Amino acid sequence: MQRRTFLMGTAAGAALTAVPVGGTLTASAAPAPVPAAVRTLDELQAAIDRARPGDRIVVADGTYTVPPDRPLTIRDKQGTERAPVTIAARNRGGVVLDGPHSFVIEASSHITLSGFSFRQSSTLDIPPGCSHIRLTRNDFQLADIEGMHYVMVRADDSTVDHNHFHGKSTLGIYLGIEGAGTEDMAQRVHVYRNHFSDHTFAGSNGGEPIRLGVSPRALSSAHAVVEYNLFERANGDPEAISVKSSDNTIRHNTIRHSTGGIVLRHGNRNRVEANHLIDGTEGVRIYGNDHVIVNNYLAGLSGRALVIGSGSERDHLPGEPAETRRGNDAPDRVLIAYNTLLNNNGTLSGESQRPHEPRDVTVADNLFVADTGRLVDMADTVRFTWSGNLLWGAADDGNMPAGGGARIDPRMVTDAHGIARPAADSPAIDAGTLRWPPVTHDIDGQPRGRTRDVGADEHSRRAPSRGPLTPADVGPDAA
């Protein structure tokens, strides 16, 4: 569908094609002057009110204070997959929205908000009556109000990508994903290429960059994908990515110089794959059943790198009391394989403060290297399977059962990005023992082949196709 661009009361926008935010608008046949964009809140609201599928509304740079009684309302607007309704800043970050609110979205679908600097004093809510809402290339630094969250997504098939969330010092999260009612989760939310930084809340709980669900929603399947996000100085909570729902994928994220880690706090059947957690505090902590934890690189953490938790409950069940749901679900049937844990203060550990021990967990083909503490420090376990793990360093082996691994120098070399990988003569090469389920690629996206290496990296002469993320890889200006 031909997209229209709303201008200052002209008809010229009908002949213009859509381009990325900050780019130049051109006519279909020949270059044309850059048109004027809407310049007042009243003009913007009028353009929204008459918007149709495929329309693109461009807002002139400036600071706009949205009145408390007249938020920018997007109501009953239905774009389509191929022709969304797009509202965009003329230049990325050039439109600042402050005041109590910015956009209020109701009963709408296929809406894109792009390039804004959000500075409002209330949560930007994407409600469950909507779907296919996209927040892209925005800057979020809302008013630093105690207990206020920046963005709450409760609509199915929503996308949050290429944004920067930063600058909070009080209780409250950057991005929450929930759903309708008290137990449902929004379906298929995609969170990618965002930069989460500089959350300095000093409390022990409640300052997560991403919270994927809450306790009452633990058993609800969300099918969310959280990938290629960078977390830096995310110190508002021990959980940078807090998962409290089921059937989600957390992959290819980088958490650096942060207190928070990746925590499967509630829920089942989540996959944590190919993440880098570097020079921070917390690593990966696991509760719940049937998770897959593979190909992760955890290095230089001052806390515990990988924790197989204990449970206050054996399993969470439908209909259980709310107080019970808030407790910890003991891990059952978890696969932990092909991870590299390097020079952390705690390597692999368990918990003993709750009555229910983890059961039927497989720990295979991981690389454990440290010079302090114990490499394996598990509490009570039942029917654990240990195989193919390599242990090295001055740290004590700990209580891994005999036959679960071997002490041998993995001969690691450090690349230009500071990531340690097996050298060409490393005994980790082709030493993997796990045959099922197959893990076909390593942390860099390189194929593992039929004989797999121990640890997160499969040795290859080819340069890796991906690695730890930097600020240039994420946020509003990234490709």
Return the pLDDT at 323: 84
Return the pLDDT at 25: 34
Return the pLDDT at 461: 87
Amino acid letter, 454: V
CA distance 163 to 266: 27
Return the pLDDT at 463: 83
Return the pLDDT at 16: 31
Integer angstrom CA distances of residue 281 from 100, 142, 293, 350, 413: 35, 26, 19, 17, 23
3-state secondary structure labels for all residues of 427-456: CCCCCCCCCCCCCCECCCCCECCCCCCCCC
* Residue 351 near residue 380 (C-beta atoms within 8 A): no
* CATH no. of 143-154+180-473: 2.160.20.10
| Residue ranges covered by each domain of the chain | 143-154+180-473
CA distance 96 to 138: 10
Rg (CA), the chain: 24
In which residue ranges of the chain is pLDDT below 70?
1-36
Return the pLDDT at 462: 86
Which residues 6+ apart lie within 8 Å of 242 measured at CB? 208, 210, 211, 212, 263, 265
Return the pLDDT at 14: 33
Q: Is 354 exposed, middle or buried (0-12, 13-18, 19+ CB in 10 A)?
A: middle
Q: Which of 303, 299, 444, 441 is nearest to 367 (CA)?
A: 299
CA distance 434 to 430: 11
Return the pLDDT at 12: 34
Return the pLDDT at 8: 36
Q: Which residue is associated with the tokens 């894109």? A: 112
Q: What sign does the dihedral 268-274-280-281 (CA atoms) show?
A: positive
3-state helix, strand, coil in the chain (%, to 5): 5, 35, 60
pLDDT (tens digit per residue) in 254-279:
999 999 999 999 999 999 999 999 99
CA distance 381 to 362: 11
Return the pLDDT at 465: 79
Q: For residue 299, is it left (φ>0), alpha (ψ between -120 and 50) or beta?
A: beta
Which residues 6+ apart lie within 8 Å of 246 measured at CB? 218, 219, 220, 221, 222, 267, 268, 269, 270, 288
CA distance 171 to 122: 14
